[in-house]
Amino acid sequence: MSSRNSEILKMLNKERSKSHKLLGSSKKDLVEKKRKWDSTMKHMEEYSSPKKKKKKKESGSGSGSKPREVELDDSSSEDEFEDKFGGKFSEDESIQKFLAFKKSKKSKESKESKESGTNS
């Protein structure tokens, strides 16, 4: 009777090891896969979370000046855009007009910074 039980146990162990090999799931592999999955999910959460402020490096005017970090708030530009253009457009129109608005705003800011740089 005990020999029969030992044969059954050996058979079960063989089947279990086969299933682990088929799944590629030794404990070490499972831990590594979970770590990679957690890392991927963390990156996805960071990517998908709404960002209020971006940091942009700008070089200062003048010799030997170090780049400084400037915080930009994108939400204010969107509000200004809606105020200026009335807001409701089809998606393509809205995107095109918003990009044009951003471009004009950047050119206006660069002109102001050049003027303030020459006056100093």
**pLDDT, one tens digit for every residue, the chain (120 residues):** 678 888 998 988 888 777 666 665 677 888 888 899 999 888 888 877 766 555 555 555 555 555 566 555 555 555 665 656 555 555 667 778 888 888 888 887 777 777 776 554
Task: Say if residues 20 and 26 touch (Cβ distance below 8 Å).
Answer: yes
Query: What are the two backbone dihedrals, phi and then psi, of residue 29, each rounded to the nearest 5 degrees?
Result: -65, -40
Q: Is residue 42 part of a domain?
A: no
Q: Is residue 2 part of a domain?
A: no
Range of the domain at 98: 51-58+68-115
**Rounded to an integer, what distance in angstroms lies between the CA atom of residue 10 and that of residue 116?**
84
Q: Is residue 37 part of a domain?
A: no
Tally of structural domains, the chain: 1
Q: Is residue 98 part of a domain?
A: yes
**Rounded to an integer, what distance in angstroms lies between the CA atom of residue 43 and that of residue 57?**
23
Q: Is residue 17 part of a domain?
A: no
